[in-house]
Amino acid sequence: MTRQLYDKKKSGYKLQKEEMKEMFREHDFNGDGRLSIKELSRAFGQFGAFFPLYRAAFGLFLADDDGDGFISEQELDKVVDYAIKSTRLQLSREDIKEIFREHDIDGDGRLSMNEMVKAFGCFGSILPFYKAHYGMAHADENGDGFIEEEELDKLVDYAQKFQHKRKC
């Protein structure tokens, strides 16, 4: 059964991790409760990853804590985190806004440079500080060094330019 990982009709990207875990579980074709490299490769292929066998091998390397060559249920979170960071999943504007809002760590209703750095890190930026810096320059219309709610759309515009590189 092939399902789409991201359904625009569902609210929020938070579902993405649980959905992805379930999709990995569905690729346990022999039902042994573990994922082999072949099963991982098929899953990464479904997620749209380039070079799914490479992604599977690296995911196995990162997550196989017990060294048995398989991903167990206990190791699945690490593979899912890696898969989220390494696949080309697309987010809607609202989901991007939700990610930025969740990175408002102090809850003051605006994004500081440090909060933006963490958010761009979540998007998979290799140099999140630079993305945050340029995002601030692009979206901070009043020049106060913060992104308020009314400036968030411009920041989302900037972040969408890099959607094809998204890793969060």
Confidence (pLDDT) at 20: 84
Confidence (pLDDT) at 41: 94
Confidence (pLDDT) at 10: 43
3-state helix, strand, coil in the chain (%, to 5): 55, 5, 40
How high is the mean pLDDT in each 10-residue block of the chain (168 residues)? 38 63 93 96 83 90 94 92 70 84 92 91 77 95 96 93 54
Confidence (pLDDT) at 98: 86
> What's the predicted TM-score (pTM) here?
0.53
Residue 7: strand, helix, or coil: coil
> Could you tell me the domains of the chain?
14-86 (1.10.238.10), 93-165 (1.10.238.10)
Q: Is 87 exposed, middle or buried (0-12, 13-18, 19+ CB in 10 A)?
A: buried
The span from the CA of 116 to the CA of 131, in Å, is: 8
Using the structure block, give the residue that is written with the tokens 């099963």.
39
